[in-house]
Amino acid sequence: MRPSVVAVVRTGTANLASVETALRRLRCEVEFVADADAVARADRLVLPGVGAFAAARHAVAASGLEDALRDRIVQGRPTLGVCLGMQLMARGSEEAPGVPGLGVLDAVAERFGDGQRVPQMGWNRVVPTDGSRIVPEGFAYFANSYRLTRLATGDRGGDWSPAWSDYGGRFLAAFERGTVVGCQFHPELSGAYGRTLIARWLAS
């Protein structure tokens, strides 16, 4: 069987090595992309990210990727947003007021509240809702100072299926709709749990 080919977006703020390693362990071929045509034609695409919201968003804009990314997510084509890549799918982030996200999820990333050590770094439980097919229940590795606390249409999020975690209060650990998945955690750093999630996404 021919290995799956997965395109990984070069956002300029991502730890691409760990994402590449996780995909290759699942017998995938990895193609790094940074232009709209490649994003549009990719069968499967990962939007990774670590670091600052504004820097990642400006990198996406500088490469002219906004419309291609937004279109494939709206169309339900296989896309996996990881950590900051997930937050880029939202309307924006308190970290960068006035800097718009892709806006496919009607939510804004908020900083963890006073009294919580940030960034949150370590393992935390992920609890999916009944509609989740790709995101399993279990423990995943997080490294984040900002998080999404709700979906705009309530806990079920309309046609998005959320998964929740808790760190000083409940927050959105992941969401999925068909083959579009956003993960606040790092599946590529989450051991067997992360391999299961990525394998389910590849098979979906």
What are 105-140's pLDDT values in tens digits? Answer: 989 999 998 888 999 999 999 999 988 999 999 999
pLDDT band of residue 150 (cuts 50, 70, 90) is: confident
Residue 154 pLDDT more than 70?
Answer: no
Report yes or no: 194 and 24 within 8 Å, Cβ to Cβ.
no
- Mean pLDDT for 170-188 is 96
Percent of the chain predicted with pLDDT > 70: 95
Q: What is the pLDDT of residue 131?
A: 84
Q: What is the pLDDT of residue 155?
A: 45
Q: What is the pLDDT of residue 2?
A: 53
- Mean pLDDT for 34-53 is 93
Query: The tokens of 96 are what?
Result: 């960068």
- 157-172: buried (b, 16+ CB within 10 Å) or exposed (e) per residue? beebbbbbbebeeebb
Point out the least confidently predicted range of 3-17, 53-67, 107-121, 153-167. Answer: 153-167
Active site residue 83: yes
What CATH homologous superfamily does 5-203 map to?
Answer: Class I glutamine amidotransferase (GATase) domain (3.40.50.880)
| Beta sheet of 90-93, edge-to-edge order | 90-93, 105-111, 146-147
Residue 153 pLDDT more than 80?
Answer: no
Catalytic site residue from 66, 176, 183, 186: 186
**What separation in angstroms does the CA of 145 have from each of 105, 111, 114?**
19, 6, 12
* Nearest alpha-carbon partner for 82 in 159, 20, 168: 20
153-157 CB contacts, 8 Å cutoff, 24+ apart? 153/106, 155/129, 156/129, 156/131
Distance CA 60, CA 69 (A): 9
Catalytic site residue from 20, 83, 176, 183: 83
Q: What is the pLDDT of residue 47?
A: 96
- Mean pLDDT for 54-73 is 93
Q: What is the pLDDT of residue 80?
A: 98
Query: The tokens of 8 are what?
Result: 């990984």
Give the start-to-end residue ranges of the domains of the chain: 5-203
- Mean pLDDT for 15-43 is 95
Q: What is the pLDDT of residue 158?
A: 56
Catalytic site residue from 20, 66, 176, 188: 188
Active site residue 183: no
Active site residue 58: no
Q: What is the pLDDT of residue 157?
A: 46
